[in-house]
Amino acid sequence: MSFLGDMELDEVIIRRRDTRHFLPDPIDERVLEGLIKTANLAPSVGQSKPTRYIIVQDPVLRQKIKSNFLVQNEKAKILASGQDKDSDYAKLKLEGILEAPLGLVICCDLSVLKEFSIGTITQPREMLLASTSCAIHTLWLSLTQMGLGMGWVSILDFDELSSSLDLPAEWFPMGYFCIGKPATDYSSMPMLSLENWNSHLEPPIILYK
């Protein structure tokens, strides 16, 4: 199943969006499982493969996660209210937890450190989280190539998220991921740029030593 046909890498990188507006069209979970298998080819430190995937189907669980978001977002609104920005934080739509047809929690299993692993001698937690981040980004690019969107929701109490999902103690959840067909491409720019929150056009900072 491919909506857009195969795209070259640069086009996928340019088109990828953090999607918060979804169409209700259902997506077969086997499609997501196939893309997760590709994401499993992402680099992981010492091939530790610490990434774990939880597909969240239960509407009661999704409602709990939405409530978790709402509480944290109220705190964020207070912090944001003093900011000198051209946009209003409180009006930004920052998730599609209940609308997106697929919901996913992606975790980093820190218990892989119980055995010796290559490359984790000095910064084990950071290197494992980096590995899971690479898997997340691989999934995001693959979804983009298929014409699907993903939104990364991190405005959450992570301990409460773990508890809601009854996760093993050593699985660190990297967030909740909303997946489905995007309802908009935000005029081909990140939504935060469209909403005058942050520019996406600043050049990278490169030093020479």
Considering only residues 93 through 132, tell me which ones interact with a copy of itself, judged by CB under 8 A: 94, 109, 115-116, 118-123, 126-127, 129-132
Nearer to a copy of itself, 54 or 183 (CB): 54
Judged by CB under 8 A, does residue 51 bind a copy of itself? yes
Q: From the list 31, 55, 183, 194, which residue makes contact with a copy of itself (rule: CB under 8 A)?
A: 55
- Rank residues 35 and 180 by Cβ distance to a copy of itself and give the closer one: 35
Question: Segment 61-80, which members bind a copy of itself (CB under 8 A)?
Answer: 61, 72, 75-76, 79-80
86 binding a copy of itself? (CB under 8 A):
no
Within 10 angstroms of residue 58's Cβ, the number of other Cβ atoms is 11
Axis-axis angle for helices 158-165, 59-80 (nearest 10): 180
Residue 205 one-letter amino acid: I
Site for a copy of itself (CB under 8 A): which residue of 1, 14, 90, 98? 14
**H/E element holding 52?**
strand 51-55
Q: Which of residues 168-187 bind a copy of itself (CB under 8 A)?
A: 172, 174-175
> Of residues 27, 97, 110, 165, which one binds a copy of itself by CB under 8 A?
165
DSSP annotation of 87:
S
Q: Identify residue 50 by its one-letter amino acid code.
A: P
Residue choice 21, 27, 42, 178 for contact with a copy of itself (CB under 8 A)? 42
Question: In angstroms, what is the minimal distance from the CB of 51 to a copy of itself?
Answer: 7
Least distance CB 99 / a copy of itself (angstroms): 19
- Whether 33 and 142 have beta carbons less than 8 Å apart is answered as no
Q: Is 197 in the site for a copy of itself (CB under 8 A)?
A: yes
Interaction between residue 31 and a copy of itself (CB under 8 A): no
Residue carrying the six token digits 């944290």? 72
Q: Which of 99, 113, 158, 183 binds a copy of itself (CB under 8 A)?
A: 158
Q: Which residues of 21-57 are buried (b: 16+ CB within 10 A; e: fewer)?
A: bbeeeebeeebbeebbeebeebebbbebebbbbbebe
Number of residues located near a copy of itself, criterion CB under 8 A: 93
173 closest CA partner among 89, 93, 110: 110
Classified as helix, coil or strand, 96 is coil
